[in-house]
Structure 1
Amino acid sequence: MADRDGRRDRLTRATHLPRRLIRWARVARAVLVFEAVWPVIWPPLGLWAVYLCVALLGLPQRLGIAVNSILVFVDVLAGLVALGIGIARIRWPDERDAQARLTRASGLKHDPIAALLDSPAQTDADSDLLWRAHRARVLASTRRLRVGMPWPWRTTPGRFAFRGGILAALILCLWLAGPMAQPRLTNAFTFNPLLLLGPPAPPPGITAWVTPPPYTGRPPVLLPAHADSVTLPKGSRLTVTVSGVTRAPQLDGLAARFHALDADSFQMESTLDQSGLFVLRGRGESLARWQIIIQPDVPPIIGFAGLPGPDSDGYSLRLPWHAVDDYAVVSAHMTAHLIGHLTAPGLSLTLAMPDGPAPKVDGVQVTDLSANPWAGLPVSMQLDAEDAAGQTGRSTAETVVLPERRFIDPYARRVIAIRKGLVQMTGLRDRDQRVAVVRSILDTAATASLAGKKASATLPLFGAGWQLLRDRQAQVPADIIDTLWQVALHFEQGDAADTAQSLNQAEKALQNALQGNGASAAELTKLMQQMQSAILQHLSTLMQMAQHQGGQIQVGSAGKPFDLGQLAQQLQAMQAAAKAGDINAMRQAMAQLQQSLAQLAQARIAQPDPKQMAARAQAEKDLGSLQQMMKTQAQLLDRSTSRAESGSPDPAGQQKDAAAQAALQRAAKAMAGRVGPGMTAAGQSMGQAAQQLGQGQDAPAGQAQSQALQALQQAANALGRQLSSQPGQGGGFEIGAGNGQGQGGEMPLDGFSSGNGLTDPLGRPLANGQGVSYGADIRLPDGLQQARLRAILQELRSKAGDLSLSPGELDYIERLLQPF
């Protein structure tokens, strides 16, 4: 009771203290409490710091979630027990301890608060006055009161070294863990109390896969539960399905959330745009982790595989190129701009993909640009490629001179030179320049007209000149450029220019249909028949021109004959592919056919070499003489055989036939040097027959005459083969040559009907009013058919000398041989 009353009395008196002193006393007591608690919390902090260091090194995580949970539980419990024991042993400070702390920290000899709490022993006036002076002096001394800083590290050297070592070890482990510090600590301090109360629950089922974006063309990729490094294209879609959990899991690194599939299954989908570490957490533990590296899609790379230039034909552009992409190149284009006119619209060309979209493409584009106004002029050429993601890559620019068609006709060359000059002009604002161009056009038209060029070609040239003079446009009209090209073609090819243009249009129509995917088999067959009709019409026109002009059909500046057999084989291959419905085979056949069609479209009529024509005329004359000699020799043989069979000699007739046989021998000797050794053998047999006839021996003379007739047949056959191999046969075409190895092809004869009875050189009907029939009832044979015809002709000639046949049969055979 006394202590309680004394404490209450102190509290009552304390209320008379200044508030400043009351606050100082409370702060001093709090500092004393901190200094008392600080040594107590170090043991549990040390236990927890040791486990923290071990966790930063990743050791508890390797023991499994069960052992890890036990270690976390034991460590936390041991620290709490040590903390409880230490707190229980603390002697908590009171008011006197706080007052003593203030006195010591302030450097005072007496406790000012205790002096202020005292009361005077006497209560008279003098004592009260003295007491008040004493309180005033004590209050003045309280202005020097200080609490002082807490001094928790005031301990023994061993404990100080232990605490310093714990801090140093913790810092070292943090440095060793680096960026893995946070995930290691999170996994190490995962606690599952269910593992301490019963058997472990079955692990959740995790299925994770990544679907690459469509532009990659790659299949979905299944992810393992733990992947150190997975490289995926940007825009891939991650799908994670977790089963066997009651709450929705979380995926660190993505903002997407899981949605419930059923009571214990959840799924999440999200697009991956950034790299990172993705950790799947559920049931208080780490279920899976993926280190994903996002690889952005880079634009394709395209370039020239060689300098573009003329192809083997001399006028087509050969453009080698290559392109690569991380996934697939889907399209490529060539763009060209005329040097000096870079602001003008460019020339664009789609490059063919040899095997379709692919990560690596190597192609060679061969395109006929000879009709383009820029042919023969330098252009700035650039390539660009596009991938499936829509990104575009572009090559460096190359300066290339576009190949041009070489014209043989001098007036065609003049027109093309004028056309190239107009294309290169930036404008026709200068009147003198315009007049000079018009004068050049009109002069060319006038001289071409005087040289015999058709009005269908010269009149458009006159019109172009007057139009250019009349128009005041600054730019050259495009129709004038096109007119000059058409005039040059007519000067070069004559009437075949129109059929060549029709052939080009039919070819492009079929090619466009084959490049697309919407044409039916019936449409492709119709377009192919139209192209074949255009081919045959062009051939007929060329042969007509060759017949009327007495010239030869030539292809290219070298004047090489066109291979009809190769064209026939290519058309047969396309027909077979069309019947089978194989579009890819038709495309391949069309690619092989294009070069032949381009050569045929540029065929022209050239005057032959006079020496060759003279030699051919002599050979044809010799062949006619041989046919007449064969007829005369057959008549002499008939008379000798008739006299020998009748047994009645006719000396006058024998002498007459001997003179005729001798004249025939002299003609054979005269031709022997030109025709060949066959005529020498025929002359020897004729001389023997003439001698025997002069001696009246008809039977031996008949045998010699038969040998002479066979020798004449062999000489005629050899001369015929020589004529068929000379230039000019078939109008400059190689008939049945095929691929140059003697394997010819027949022009396809299916699907055509004749309505007007006119046929082309290959026996095909012509459209009404188009072309002429050059040998309307004759089909040009191929190599095999020619051999068979020669064999039949030789058989007929041998039968003509067979005396066992009746006169009617011999007369029939003679009529068959009459044209030959």
Structure 2
Amino acid sequence: MAERTPLLNDALARLRAPLTLTWAGLLAERLVQAFWPLWTLIAAVAAALMLGFHDWAMVELVGASLIGAAIGAVVFAVLGVRRFAWPRRAEAVTRMDSALAERPLAALGDRQAIGSGDAASEALWRAHLARMAKAASHAHTIAPDLRISDRDPFGLRYIALLGLVAALCFGSAWRVSTIPLIGPGHAQPAAAGPTWEGWVEPPRYTGLPSLYLSDQKDRINVPVGSRITLRLYGALGALSASETVSGRTTGIGNATDPAQDFDVTQSGTLTIDGAGGRSWTITALPDAAPDVTLVDEGKRTTFDGQMRQPFHARDDYGVTGGTAIFRLDPDRVKRRYGLATDPEPREAIVLELPMPITGGRDDFTEALIENLSEHAWAHLPVTLELQVTDAREQIGSSAPVPMALPARRFFDPLAAAVIEQRQSLLWSRHNARDVTQILRAVSHRPEGGLFRSETAYLRLRVILRRLETLVRHDALTPEARDEITAAMWELALLLEDGDIGDALERMRQAQERLSEAMKNGASEEDIARLMQELRDATQDYLRQKSQQAQRENDADQPDQGDQNAMQLSQQDLQDMMDRIQELMNEGRMAEAQQALQEFQEMMENLRVTEGQRGQGDSEGQQAMEGLADTLRQQQGLSDQAFRDLQEQFNPGAQAGESQNNEGRNGGEGRGQSHEGQGGQGSGQGEQQGQEQGDAQTGSGALADRQEALRRELERQRGNLPGQGSEGGDAARDALDRAGRAMDGAEDALRQNDLAEAIDQQSAAMDALREGMRNLGEAMAEANRNNQGGQGQARGADGAQQSDPLGRIAGQGDQAGTQDSLLQGEDVYRRARELLDEIRRRSGQGDRPEVERDYLQRLLDRF
């Protein structure tokens, strides 16, 4: 360091605190670097002794280890002293000065070598010192460098510290004092006093922590099945244990055994006799059986027969699973017609109860959703019993509840007759001859309009001939019976849901039944059921009307000559039915009947519109459909890129077509192709997707398809309507971000960086969805501004635009959709299965890290 000068002394005086801290850090740094082997060895030895290493190891091994540790400590201490150098204050000043750009502290210790006596030179020198003094005022404490990873590449210091922490938590410092007693001259360790340890481990499924006996009070509450572990140290017989909680009668060892383990099966006492012994009163808490009850609130059956039955389950430690059991109640069956024959034996219907996907299972409410319309017991008296189990396989059951098995209702007379004969055939094969006679009578010279299509008539005749042949040759096996009843079910659906006229007829019939029920003073329960049927029938009619309008683009244009026709939105009709329901709940049946009559008159002239389309689809609708198609194609590209990424790390996946993999183009596995075939879109987009779907699946081919999709998006963005509006500009900005993300995905694909490509494609899809939302808002705003006149549909030009999943958006003041999303299989169960599969795969350590990261992002999102 330079010579101390008054200016330097003044600067150091002002920097006394940071200089002292820097010096202390320098001291700590040198101590750590010099003596880390010594304190690592000391921590390791202390941990071993506190955990009782010398109690169970051989005396020779303990002695050799202690001698080796002592020699090592001396060697490490000597080496540390040789390496250690006491830091000087000047070194601390140099370290602080080196952190500053101009080394001002060193400059303040300099003296002027030339120019002494020259006024100009001295003035320049004073200005230089003043600038250095100002720079020195910014000096600060320098943190020490305590990293010694280059000296300890295996992390031995961390292992020793971990062992010491474990010893402090689970060991005892008093054990160190017993080291002198391990030699031959101290064969009686009782002189140091015996000691003991004990733990209580509750069953794993309870989720409760282990208890350390020495920390517990005299009374302990533990679950039945808890494991008690005792360890007695010292001379044999100095300590003994007695207990009355295990209920053991055989296999009991000596009370003085050093190691004792047993399970708690009953309440009792636990006593350790001897020096330092203790006694506890232990209360065994039994594991209560789970409980489950049916919940009436929210219970319903949809128009197509889908049942929703809520239930409430609880258990002290959590329900693990459950079943719903439907049993036929033969005493309540009206034994007439086809049911007069003795039924063939059938097993009870057993359905798995859904469990919560997230949250606890100790107290929850869920809903069983299932469609049993095709079962032989449809609408017949049954009893429903729920059973749930816990981790100990204890079963809790609900009281059997009598009910009619929920199923679909058929309003078409011919469809209802087919379903009735189908049930008779399923009830007993002995009814087959009567079924053939009734079906032949129904189909003999049918009146006009009985069969709504020739196809339905031909299907019935084919079923009839097939059944007659089997009956004639006495070959109606259960398999053949099931095949015929499946065909009869399909025929009934064709007769019931044949066209829009059938849906309108069902709605009219539901109106008539409700009107008759109100006139005849039916019970509140019957009226509520009929009102729900009317809601379901109306919703089904509106759904079919909307689908017909989508299929017939120009055929659904308003009839300009019919000025009296009313244009109603779905929400308007729901509001009218809500009003009828409110009047009935208030007991104002006369007003409710009048409102129902008005509703019937309006439905006669009903015409549901999806907005004024001019001579075809509006520009906004075309743009929305094009974006939806682009989104589907982008999803397909992303899925294929992910499958290619899987194959890089899992060559045995057989090009994405293994049992646990989706197909490369989505067609070989459980999914469907995304490449332009996921729904209706622009013709150009579909043709592109189909042509590109046949291309090679390498990164280069994916990049080419990504480039083509980006160009298509640029074309769509240029033709996007709503320019100048807030929503239209926001949609353009979102599509611009989507284009940039697609461009980044293309570059990543050309570089074969599939992980980066998947991230960019995900960003592009998010931006596309945002753009579609913004475009929909702009279209809705434009529709509200252009809308006028009483009775017009509020869903014009965008409010009824289907989303990428094909659902119709909310109308009027309603948010969301009323479309049924539970089509086909139970999507709730399917969702749980997919989520469980994702969790299973994300926990497999042998999978590539990039795949596990992708699965984790899915779990975080859903």
Does TM, scored on the shorter chain, surpass 0.5?
no
TM category (shorter chain) comes to 0.3 to 0.5
Given the two structures, how large is their TM-score scaled by the length of structure 2?
A: 0.36
Given the two structures, how large is their TM-score scaled by the length of structure 1?
A: 0.38
**Greater strand percent: which structure?**
1
Rg: which structure is higher?
1
